[in-house]
Amino acid sequence: MAILTLSCRQNSFEYSLFDSEHFSLLACGTVIGIGRGRHAELICDHIQPQHQMETVPILNDLHSAIKYVLTLLDSSGRDCCFSTPVAWTITAVGHRVVHGGELFRQSVVIDDQVLKKIRQLERLAAKYNRPNREGIEAAMALLPSLVHVAIFDTAFHQTMPSSAYIYPLPYEWYEKHAVRRYGFHGSSHLYLSRCVATLMEKPIDQCRLITIHMELGISLCAIADGRSVDCSMGFTPVDGTMQTRRSGTVDPGIPGFIMDWQELSAQQVEEVLNEKSGLVGIVGSCGGRRDVLEKSLAGESRAKLAIMMESYGLKKSIGSYLAALGGCDALVFSTGQGELEVETRREFLSGLECFGVVLDQQRNSKAGLSDVPQLISHDDSSIQIWVIPTHEARVYAEDTVLVCAGHCQEPWQQEYRFSSTLSGK
């Protein structure tokens, strides 16, 4: 028996297949280049250093792409990164949905009404919810007899107090248009927080944590007693700290000024803030965060500036969350770009010693070289610092099983087996 999880984007999707009893990973991969009129690529990752990429047929949409992967798994009996066949039967599918608005506080079975609500929420996040919905519709058409479950990025952050999620704007904007802070990367922040609580051997409802999700998008979350109380991402994922392609928080007067002087539309400015800003905006042409980190280490001036700007923003965010939480038990970083993050962590944690954040340079230099959680704080640090590989798909899989069994609760209330796995229980 197996659980399939899907995270669909506009031109790509990630899939993972888990054993539904022990949640061991059976297969996983990413299909990129969908709908671009050329051959797509299938990237298979399982246990490093296994990593394979192969060219696949032209895939015009998510339906054909998901069908291709299902056919591949079914016909070969194995994922392409495995050397021996693995038998499985998919019993349910868990779908990542970026935006649940205020309508969804937990994962749910997808029916016509839920699908209708997900479609309605596209007005808040069309770039993300539309491909999420299209992936759901494709998978439901291809696997009509299975239970399909929606897991929302925003659900974990529904515990934020109104003082954190209401913007200082006309209150009618919130009442009429749902303009508020929502927070994103919820499954990752949930995973990181539960894992570090287990590693510290401390109940999650007695922890004050700051989790930092570092991937293409970067977000920070302040967590008290297992609940999200603030998140750097707001009404959209572009808010918060500087990211690979997103600007993060900027003076709200800038878009109007640029629209006026460069005669740009609101949509054009939004594209710049989402796709042409952040590290990419400072460095110019680059292949992404890894490329910028490598250029910075090589001494390129604009890349060094970009990383210094990012580090300064992260340092300010960490400081504000230390104040908001009234103290902290641990800072938790996802692995991001692995060993390349060593210097960035050193940069933005420098100067936080006055708050009890003391980095162990030797431990930090080794973090990211393996796929296991690593403590990188000095023994004298009053706040522990951890690097933990995030595993959002594991949250999707566990929520899917819980929903199918009728036991799913709001994320902050839910017991997850992945945390007990770390402790060997």
- From 8, 7, 25, 28, select the one nearest 16 (Cα to Cα): 28
Domain extent, residue 58, equals 2-152+393-423
- pLDDT score at 56: 80
Query: Residues 343-391: pLDDT tens digits?
Result: 889 999 999 999 999 999 999 999 977 889 999 999 999 999 999 999 9
Highest mean pLDDT among 51-65, 97-111, 326-340: 97-111
Based on the domain organization, do 98 and 193 belong to the same domain?
A: no
Sheet containing strand 12-19, edge to edge, reads 51-58, 39-45, 25-32, 12-19, 2-8, 90-97, 147-152, 108-109
Based on the domain organization, do 133 and 144 belong to the same domain?
A: yes
Q: What is the CATH number of the domain that holds 45?
A: 3.30.420.40
Based on the domain organization, do 370 and 250 belong to the same domain?
A: yes
Residue 360 bears catalytic tag: no
Based on the domain organization, do 75 and 182 belong to the same domain?
A: no
Give alpha helix (H) positions in 143-248. 162-165, 171-177, 186-199
Q: 174 in helix, strand or coil? A: helix
Mean pLDDT on 94-102: 97
Domain count, the chain: 2
Query: Is the pLDDT reported for residue 152 higher than 60?
Result: yes
Is 405 a member of any domain?
yes
Based on the domain organization, do 103 and 39 belong to the same domain?
A: yes
* Residue 147 phi, psi dihedral angles, 5° rounding: -80, 135
45, 79, 153, 399: which one is catalytic?
Answer: 153
Q: 168 in helix, strand or coil? A: coil
Query: Residues 169-222: pLDDT tens digits?
Result: 999 999 999 999 999 999 999 999 999 999 999 999 999 999 999 988 999 999
